Amino acid sequence: MHISAPPKSFKEFFYFFGQNQMDRYGLEDALKKLGGATVIKVDTLHPIDWSALRSNFHEFTDGVAIPAGAFGKTRSASESYNRAGHRIVRALIPALAAEFGVEEAEIRWFPDGYCLRYRPITAEIPHRDHALPGTVMVWFADTVSVFEYVPNSWQESDTGQGLVKAESPPESAWKKLKIPAGDVFVFLPCLLHRVAGFNYSKSIQQRYFAGFSTEPPSPEMVHCIKTGQYPGPPSGHPQTVYPKLWMSNNPQKAIEMAAKMKPHAVTIKTVPDKPLAESTKRKIAKACKVDPKSVKPGFKYPVPHSKPQPIPRDVFATMGDQVETALELIGANRVDQ
In total, how many domains does the chain have?
A: 2
Q: pTM of the predicted model, to two decimals? A: 0.83
- Return d(Cα 242, Cα 240) in angstroms, integer: 5
Q: Are residues 315 and 298 in the same domain?
A: no
Q: Are residues 296 and 203 in the same domain?
A: no
- Return d(Cα 84, Cα 51) in angstroms, integer: 9
Nearest-5° angle of CA 230, CA 231, CA 233? 105
Question: 64 vs 111, 119, 309, CA distance in Å?
Answer: 18, 17, 16
pLDDT in tens, 73-130: 777 888 899 999 999 999 999 999 999 999 999 999 999 888 888 878 877 788 888 7
* Domain CATH code at residue 86: 2.60.120
Residue among 191, 39, 38 at smallest CA distance from 129: 191
Q: Are residues 205 and 292 in the same domain?
A: no
pLDDT in tens, 230-251: 998 776 666 777 777 677 778 8
3-class state of residue 57 by DSSP: coil
Q: Are residues 170 and 201 in the same domain?
A: yes
Q: Are residues 120 and 62 in the same domain?
A: yes
Q: Are residues 38 and 173 in the same domain?
A: yes
Instruction: Please count the other Cβ atoms lying within 10 Å of the Cβ belonging to residue 312.
Output: 16
- Return d(Cα 239, Cα 306) in angstroms, integer: 9
Domain that holds residue 253: 245-304
Q: Are residues 178 and 253 in the same domain?
A: no
Helices (H) then strands (E): counts for the chain: 10, 14
pLDDT value for 337 = 36
Task: Tell me the pairing of strands 37-40 and 184-187.
Answer: antiparallel
Q: Are residues 47 and 133 in the same domain?
A: yes
Beta-strand (E) ranges in the chain? 37-40, 108-117, 120-121, 127-129, 135-141, 145-149, 163-165, 175-179, 184-187, 193-195, 198-199, 205-213, 266-270, 300-304
